Chain A
């Protein structure tokens, strides 16, 4: 996943004509900037589960802000590396974690969604379906447990179906704020539990959002990640 995210980023950067040449002189290596990925569907395509207005703000404004702030933090990191300023590099860690995580999480999230007309909500098949049945009993049981995890988040954050890279087992994990799924676990399916993901439509009734989103989950994308 991480590799494909970087590849996409580099591709988009080239497409947009952005390159590291702007920074030539201060940098010794070329590097593509992170850019906002296009959605594979229209903003209104996930209605009624997620309104077009939410999708537009979420993608064009929130995700874009993570992309911009991540790029700024990385520029500062490169500057600090160039100067050999270790303290400044360490101080940038929270910003990179937050905005880099925001970029990764949202990029994965958009791919996890699909309009009904494009297969959104169609249950998983094959090895993933089998793994879900073995781990949770059934797809419905899994959804109930995932919704329980989402409802239990105290503050902003995400719930993920993850694969343990050591054992191959799948499980549900929650992450605070924009902490990304990295290290031992591989992200398969993420659901955004930040209030900006649902508030305009569902207000405080977040359980309704968690229940409605299953109608637009792109299980094909989850299968692909699972078998990668």
Chain B
């Protein structure tokens, strides 16, 4: 049997992000959507263990896409929850919480406002389900880039995911309906810059991430 992953608790209450993200969205998103990725990840890992034990290479290969999707869903959501902080909390103040990252953002994009505009354009340019990310290339303290990943593809390849925004419709639809630009504009009010600064400085510990 493979290790079983379990749903990490949120570091805040379901209604703590209101009015930016409603309690109903947070509850469904965490308890149902994230849980489903974990359930399917565990099942996929079991299937992988069996395929490995029987040297069933075709089965192993056919499992990989499920692993990317459900493992990615678990990683992405685990990162996302900690990228958010209660509305009005000090962690949402970039100047106070992320001085190093702020300096790098300003160097790269001219100002924080120009960075958020560029990030927003990437989010709104996604065609279908996916995520937008601020990443540090090559490890902590590296060159900053805005990238998008489709569906539940995670950020891999030595890029540190500093900040991720979920652009699946389930992340905003109950509240913003087809106005995804409204969601993209509002979410900056609940970004946890303490977490972003920590990842930019020290990176993300992959193993610790999934235990939370």
Q: Which residues of A contact B (CB under 8 A)?
A: 57, 61-62, 65, 94, 98, 154-157, 176-178, 194-196, 199-200, 203-204
Contacts and interface: CB of A to CB of B under 8 A. Distances in A.
Interface in B114-154: 127-130, 150-152
A153 B154 CA distance: 17
B128 A157 contact: yes
B128 A155 contact: yes
B127 A98 contact: yes
Interface in B89-129: 127-129
B65 interface: yes
Contact of B178 (A62, A156, A203): A62
7 contacts: A57-B178, A62-B178, A155-B150, A176-B128, A194-B128, A196-B173, A204-B170
B3 to A, nearest CB: 23
* Chain B CB within 10 A, most for which of A57, A154, A157, A200: A154
B169 interface: yes
B169 A199 contact: yes
Given A204-B32, A204-B170, 11 more contacts: A61-B178, A98-B127, A154-B152, A177-B128, A195-B170, A199-B170, A199-B174, A200-B173, A203-B28, A203-B32, A204-B28
Contacts of A154: 65, 69, 151-152
A174 B174 CA distance: 26
Interface of B: 28, 32-33, 36, 65, 69, 127-130, 150-152, 168-170, 173-174, 177-178
A57 B33 CA distance: 23
Contact of A200 (B33, B129, B174): B174
Contacts of B36: 204
Given A176-B128, A178-B128, A195 B178 contact: no
* Chain B CB within 10 A, most for which of A65, A98, A199, A200: A199
Contact of B169 (A61, A65, A98, A196): A196
Contact of A57 (B150, B151, B168, B177): B177
Contacts of B152: 154-155
Contact of A199 (B65, B129, B151, B173): B173
Contacts of A156: 128-129, 169
A72 B168 CA distance: 25
A154 B70 CA distance: 9
Given A154-B65, A155-B128, A177-B127, A194 B151 contact: no
A107 B69 CA distance: 30
Contacts of A57: 177-178
Nearest to B69: A154
Given A154-B65, A204-B28, A195 B169 contact: yes
Contacts of B150: 155
A151 to B, nearest CB: 11
B117 to A, nearest CB: 20
B71 to A, nearest CB: 12
A102 B70 CA distance: 27
A178 B126 CA distance: 12
Identify the 3 closest CB pairs spanning chains A and B, nearest first: A177-B128, A155-B151, A195-B169
